[in-house]
Structure 1
């Protein structure tokens, strides 16, 4: 969680980094359950911007990224999941630098 609640009442955030463009998106959220919705927003925005589909998603094994509905969504849209070792930022590339 963030140390302070945002003006909109959010206590959490999630970041997505699109390696092809080297751009990062930050989405504020009020609960951890919103990761699924925020990823869907990100996916639509990036795929419209880049005119290509997201094919790989790399993340740590945090519970918010492995929710059953998210895993089912990854399968449905053909996104390959790459899990990194927790606390091993070198595996997560640019995001952790």
Structure 2
């Protein structure tokens, strides 16, 4: 990515489980973080499913094709399949995912009026929606649905970039203080069903809230 995200990320690592087609995204400040993020992903997937990763398919980038990464994969019994240069169709799932997510994130930023530094939040939101969308590859099922083995509830989805009023807990306000604070909605939590909000007074401060009222018609924000 040409522009750093608010968190300082410049690169994106996508990982997709071939069986469920569920995908994960990691925002990286440097390419040398790829191996550590892959280890995080491996631990998550294997503990969640009880199965082991048997094969990793990547392009021939130096972040994957280095002695340290090769040794790790070999020690774990993971076959490393490397695609042929200039032959992206050999890794079509990842290539299509990369293109689709970037195009949708670009549209979401333009529609919301948020500046480009929010590309990381947009990417993560698009991936969240992708995992909860039916796909032909799964005969109309959703990746998240296949991953967890049960139906999922999508009633909490909201318009990216809209105004959001988060409830201020009683313990943090007096009787005459406002009951809510105005934010901008910029995505969902990775682990629980809460909303990720941006502070209007401090663009670099993000806040998580469960009790939120949304104003989903807007003209865009800076």
Scaled by the length of structure 1, what TM-score is found? 0.91
Structure 1: which 5+ residue stretches go unaligned? Answer: none
Look up the match of 1:21: 20
Q: Does 1:51 align with 2:50?
A: yes
Deviations 1:59-88 (A, max 9, x none): 111111012111000010100011111221
Runs of 4+ in structure 1 over 4 Å off: none
Give the whole-Å Cα distance in 2 for the aligned partners of 1:31 and 1:93. Answer: 25
Secondary structure, aligned partner of 1:64: coil
Give the whole-Å Cα distance in 2 for the aligned partners of 1:50 and 1:12. Answer: 28
Give the whole-Å Cα distance in 2 for the aligned partners of 1:5 and 1:93. Answer: 27
Look up the match of 1:63: 62
Higher helix share: 1
Q: Which has the higher contact order (CA 8 A, sep 6+)?
A: 1
Give the whole-Å Cα distance in 1 for the aligned partners of 2:52 and 2:12. Answer: 24
Q: Does 1:75 align with 2:74?
A: yes
Aligned residues: 96
Q: Does 1:34 align with 2:33?
A: yes
Deviations 1:11-61 (A, max 9, x none): 111111110110111101111110111110111111122210000001111
Structure 2: which 5+ residue stretches go unaligned? Answer: 97-222
Please tell me the root mean square deviation across aligned C-alpha atoms, in Å. Answer: 1.1
* Larger of the two Rg values belongs to structure: 2
Secondary structure, aligned partner of 1:22: coil
Give the whole-Å Cα distance in 2 for the aligned partners of 1:14 and 1:86. Answer: 19
Offset at 1:3? 2.3
